[in-house]
Amino acid sequence: MEQSRIAQSIGIALDRFIKNNQDQFQYASGELSQLLRDIALASKVVHREVTKAGLVDLSGSLGSHNSAGDQQQKLDVLANIRFTRALAKGGEACAIISEETESYADLNNDGKYVIAIDPLDGSSNIDVNVSIGTIFSIYRRKSEPGNPITASDILQKGSEQVAAGYILYGSSTMLVYTTGHGVNGFTYEPTLGEYFLSHPDMKMPVEGKIYSINEGLANSFSGSVQAYLQYCKDRNYTARYIGSLVADFHRNLLKGGIYIYPATAKDPGGKLRLMYECNALAFVAEQAGGKATDGKNRILDIIPVDLHQRTPFLVGSTMMVEKAMSV
């Protein structure tokens, strides 16, 4: 019933979709809806900046100031400012954890939500005009609003996310999110300045044939990761690696596949960050019927001890992830 209701809403604008589905949230208030709208708004600004990246770089190379006399800023820093500003203005967030800042940003003590965000992931791809993304997780704070936030508000495990998702700045810009009731994808229509539902109730194929991994590092992979890669090759699977997590994940979500960033000699604990890269995608994957693990533990069950902690990450079609864990 719920699924057909969503399927019938194809083409509906994001704002209206959020409003229509507000009753699904565990905490029936408009605050979470407002947070999602704040994130969507900031992403539209980032979309605008991303599409101008080549021009910005050009003017940057002529002098390090723009026409307004401001210093040119790197897009990832700019994206961090855009998202932080949007979330701070709304008042619903009490803290933001970001890849771009060492410590968390303490916002409104009355806010009920903690946001973990990678404002612009895969940013080394900006210079070469390849897809990049924003990844976000939303948690409800544990302590009473009105008080200073505590470590237990900040260091929550992924299973406690109340919403999560990503924005993919690709050949079109898409926002994909879950509030724990399935996954829905919205495509941005830049001339109207609106996201519209284009991918209702997304499901990740249970089995797939695409594997995504930086195979140049294979010499330092564990024996089991190397054995799984051999398994993929023996079956003529397709290798696809953009080097932009959101883009690699999104393709595998739609087509069926596995993304692996294992422990390597350079990054023995894995490269990717648990709190603002892996948890959100793990939540989306599970809600779409997929699986996410560090090789042993479910990603969403890992208790974080540090804002920026890393983890090995295997995410994708359930049967592929299970196979990768069992070889």
Choose between 122 and 200: whose C-beta lies nearer to ligand AHM. Answer: 122
Backbone angles phi, psi at 208, to 5 degrees: -155, 175
Q: Contact at 8 Å (CB) between 274 and 304?
A: yes
> Least CB distance from residue 65 to ligand AHM, whole Å?
26
Residue 2's SS3 state is helix
> Least CB distance from residue 99 to Mg ion, whole Å?
5
> Least CB distance from residue 173 to Mg ion, whole Å?
18
Residue 60 as a binder of ligand AHM (CB under 6 A): the answer is no
Which option in Mg ion, ligand AHM, none does residue 214 bind, with CB closer than 5 to 8 A by kind?
Answer: ligand AHM
Among positions 33-52, residues that touch ligand AHM (CB under 6 A) are none
Cβ neighbour number for residue 29 with a 10 Å cutoff: 11
Which option in Mg ion, ligand AHM, none does residue 134 bind, with CB closer than 5 to 8 A by kind?
Answer: none
Residue 251 as a binder of ligand AHM (CB under 6 A): the answer is no
277: annotated active-site residue: yes
How many residues of this chain bind ligand AHM (CB under 6 A)? Answer: 10
* Separation between Cα atoms, residue 95 and residue 139, nearest integer Å: 10
Q: Which helix (H) or strand (E) holds 248?
A: helix 245-255
Q: What angle do CA 165, 15, 79 make, to 5 degrees?
A: 50
31: annotated active-site residue: no
Per-residue mark of binding to ligand AHM, 100-129 (x: CB under 6 A): ---------------------xxx------
Out of 248, 277, 286, 294, which one is annotated catalytic? Answer: 277
> Least CB distance from residue 9 to ligand AHM, whole Å?
31
> Least CB distance from residue 148 to ligand AHM, whole Å?
29
Residue 63's SS3 state is coil
Would you state the structure tokens that stand for residue 4, as one six-digit string? 């057909």
> Least CB distance from residue 42 to ligand AHM, whole Å?
18
Choose between 134 and 318: whose C-beta lies nearer to ligand AHM. Answer: 134
Residue 96's SS3 state is strand
User: What's the Cα-to-Cα distance from 92 to each of 39, 146, 157, 254, 307, rounded to whole Å?
Assistant: 12, 12, 20, 32, 21
Beta bridge partners of 13: 196
Amino acid, res. 265: A
Residue 245 as a binder of ligand AHM (CB under 6 A): the answer is yes
15: annotated active-site residue: no
Residue 244 as a binder of ligand AHM (CB under 6 A): the answer is yes
Residues whose CB is less than 8 angstroms from the CB of residue 23 and which lie 6 or more positions away in sequence, other chains included? none
The interface region with ligand AHM, picked from 34-42, 55-63, 156-164, 241-249 by CB under 6 A, is: 241-249
Q: Which of 136, 138, 101 is nearest to 121 (CA)?
A: 136
Choose between 146 and 216: whose C-beta lies nearer to ligand AHM. Answer: 216
Q: Which residues bind Mg ion (CB under 5 A)?
A: 118, 121
Instruction: Kindly compute the dihedral angle of the four CA atoms of residues 270, 121, 325, 221, in this order, to the nearest 10 degrees.
Output: -40
> Least CB distance from residue 310 to ligand AHM, whole Å?
10
Choose between 38 and 99: whose C-beta lies nearer to ligand AHM. Answer: 99
Out of 76, 92, 153, 286, which one is annotated catalytic? Answer: 76
99: annotated active-site residue: yes
DSSP 174-209: EEEEESSS-EEEEEEETTTTEEEEEETT----SS--
Residue 286 as a binder of ligand AHM (CB under 6 A): the answer is no
Active site (catalytic) residues:
70, 76, 99-100, 118, 120-121, 277
Q: Give the footprint of ligand AHM on this chain (CB under 6 A).
A: 99, 121-123, 214, 243-245, 248, 271
